[in-house]
Amino acid sequence: MQNKKVYLNGEYLPLSEAKVSVLDRGFLFGDGVYEVIPAYFGKLFCFDAHLERLNKSLQAVRIDLNLSEAQWLEILQPLLIEGDAQYVYLQISRGVADKRDHAFPSDCTPTVFAMCSPITPFPKEIGVKAITLDDMRWELCNIKATTLLANILLRQQAVEKQCAEAILIKNGYATEGAASNVFAVINGVLVTPPKTDDILLGITREVVLKLAQENNMPVKEAVITLEALKTATEIWLTSSTREILPVTHLDDKPVGTGQVGKFWLTMQQYFQDYKKAA
């Protein structure tokens, strides 16, 4: 794996030969944005939606890089490896400056890095445990920024409690997971928190919403209080690398029956069919 081919600034190199300067602002400040794009059966999934979000992140942090969909495809496609499920990690930092200074350097070329890895299968059918934690991140969680220290600390706390994810609570409301979006079935309706700057607008979240609507599953985007989350009969986490993951235990208490629920079983089928057709 160490010698897989990666992309760095216009070149394809073995991973061990891909090197970035210590003055890169991605290294010094986490000054960059990224995407995680799944690929199924050799094809990038929801590629247009991922690029649209990437362009929004680039604009939000004022990194000037405008590549067309065709140009990105030309860069990323050669990285795809054998296997049914992989993901491309694409990172763009502001680039290398000649000295460390918080403000933008006047002349800086963005560093573009991409690599492809297999998606590790997750034990979805048996579900996972999650904990709730205080969402202590910043106010622009809609930007897919590489500056992820808060998310890392939150996920680590979850892992240390034998949980797969931390569900974050801000002012009494669920926002999202440390690296996923959250859905809950409450009073027979599938609910996910609304689009605000408190959450990353997940591409998997969008697909789940679309599939629920198309198949007449009761669904809405609405706030979820911590109290309501505790009464949910199902909780799911969605992301590009874990797809739709049912949470069977929240804060050590069973969610619903403590088994994966019937909404999830139905949505899982819709999602797998959609992947194959995409």
Catalytic (active-site) positions = 144
Give yes or no for residue 240 binding ligand PDD (CB under 6 A).
yes
Give yes or no for residue 79 binding ligand PDD (CB under 6 A).
no
| Residue of 54, 119, 190, 203 that binds ligand PDD (CB under 6 A) | 203
Q: Which is nearer to ligand PDD, 95 or 202 (CB)?
A: 202
Give yes or no for residue 176 binding ligand PDD (CB under 6 A).
yes
Give yes or no for residue 93 binding ligand PDD (CB under 6 A).
no
Residue sitting closest to ligand PDD (CB): 202
* DSSP designation for 27: H
**Binding residues among 20-49 for ligand PDD as defined by CB under 6 A:** 36
Using CA atoms, how far apart are residues 217 and 263, in angstroms rounded to an integer? Answer: 8
| Residue of 86, 91, 111, 238 that binds ligand PDD (CB under 6 A) | 238
- What stretch of H or E contains 269? helix 262-277
Give yes or no for residue 181 binding ligand PDD (CB under 6 A).
yes
Q: Given the DSSP bridges, would you call strands 128-134 and 181-186 parallel, antiparallel or unpaired? A: unpaired
Q: Which is nearer to ligand PDD, 225 or 241 (CB)?
A: 241
Q: Measured from the CB of residue 26, what is the shortest distance to ligand PDD in angstroms?
A: 15
- Exposed / middle / buried, residue 267 (Cβ in 10 Å: 0-12, 13-18, 19+): buried
Give yes or no for residue 117 binding ligand PDD (CB under 6 A).
no
- Tokens standing for 94? 């502001």
∠ CA 172-178-181, nearest 5°, is 75
Using CA atoms, how far apart are residues 82 and 41, in angstroms rounded to an integer? Answer: 9
Q: Measured from the CB of residue 45, what is the shortest distance to ligand PDD in angstroms?
A: 10
Which listed range, 24-32, 101-109, 202-210, 253-261, lies at the site for ligand PDD (CB under 6 A)? Answer: 202-210
Q: Measured from the CB of residue 196, what is the shortest distance to ligand PDD in angstroms?
A: 13
Give yes or no for residue 239 binding ligand PDD (CB under 6 A).
yes
Question: Which is nearest to 163 in space by CA: 254, 232, 251?
Answer: 251
Q: Which is nearer to ligand PDD, 110 or 177 (CB)?
A: 177
Give residue 152's identity as a one-letter amino acid code: I
Give yes or no for residue 135 binding ligand PDD (CB under 6 A).
no
Give yes or no for residue 196 binding ligand PDD (CB under 6 A).
no
Using CA atoms, how far apart are residues 238 and 233, in angstroms rounded to an integer? Answer: 17
- Tokens standing for 4? 């897989």
Which listed range, 20-28, 158-166, 198-206, 245-253, lies at the site for ligand PDD (CB under 6 A)? Answer: 198-206
CB 263 within 8 A of CB 217: yes
Residue 197 half-sphere exposure toward CB, CA atoms < 13 A:
9
Sign of the C-alpha dihedral computed for residues 27, 2, 121 and 158 taken in this order: negative
First to last CA, the chain: 28
Q: Measured from the CB of residue 47, what is the shortest distance to ligand PDD in angstroms?
A: 12
Kindly list the residues in this chain that would bind ligand PDD in the complex (CB under 6 A). 36, 151, 176, 179-181, 200, 202-205, 238-241
